[in-house]
């Protein structure tokens, strides 16, 4: 089951961190932020290796990797699995799932990929608002409600 999702800007500043209230910790918000920020290191490392690989080889397979924005499993801990997705504009989407719940331990890669693509579409809709300033945090209640609906129903 999904625990939280984050939208991170180009400069690694959080634009949105939200989740479902499945954890009963008092440090729920801090633990979510810690998981997301530690995922940024793995995400940046993965992006750097992808850029190095595509610069060194000019084959068709490396060109198709550029079109795939899904980075897959970034890392896992005893209790969580963290997945990453990067848009063409270098906005990073991070999905944290619980690996301790029965439904969280057998989440398929295709389900995570679909959820992150839907989150990308929701993000695109949210920033298309003419009153939203690029780079500002996403404070839309509609976006928050749609993200929570996505987390509860799809992952």
What average pLDDT does this structure show over 13-35? 78
Contact 39, 74 (CB under 8 A): yes
Domains located in the chain, CATH noted: 2-154 (3.30.450.70)
- The pLDDT assigned to 32 comes to 85
What average pLDDT does this structure show over 5-23? 85
- The pLDDT assigned to 144 comes to 93
- Comparing 32-46, 48-62, 95-109, the range with the smallest average pLDDT is 48-62
Q: What pLDDT digit, counting tens, does each position of 65-87 carry?
A: 545 788 989 998 888 899 999 99
Distance in angstroms (rounded) separating the CA atoms of residues 147 and 102: 22
Contact 43, 92 (CB under 8 A): yes
Contact 81, 74 (CB under 8 A): no
Rounded mean pLDDT of the chain?
Answer: 83
What average pLDDT does this structure show over 54-72? 60
The backbone torsions φ and ψ at residue 61, rounded to the nearest 5 degrees and listed phi first, read: -65, -35
| Cα end-to-end span (Å), the chain | 6
């Amino acid at each position: 089951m999904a625990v939280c999702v984050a939208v991170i800007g180009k400069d690694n500043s959080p634009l949105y961190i939200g989740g479902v209230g499945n954890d009963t910790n008092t440090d729920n918000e801090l633990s979510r932020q810690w998981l997301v920020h530690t995922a940024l290191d793995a995400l940046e490392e993965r992006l750097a290796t992808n850029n190095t690989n595509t610069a060194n080889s000019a084959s068709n397979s490396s060109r198709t990797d550029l079109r795939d924005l899904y980075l897959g499993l970034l890392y896992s801990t005893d209790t969580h699995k963290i997945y990453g997705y990067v848009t063409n504009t270098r906005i990073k989407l991070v999905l944290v799932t619980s690996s301790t719940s029965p439904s969280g331990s057998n989440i398929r890669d295709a389900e995570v990929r679909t959820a992150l693509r839907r989150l990308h579409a929701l993000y695109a809709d949210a920033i298309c608002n003419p009153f939203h300033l690029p780079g500002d945090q996403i404070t839309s209640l509609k976006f928050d409600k749609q993200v929570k609906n996505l987390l509860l129903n799809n992952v």
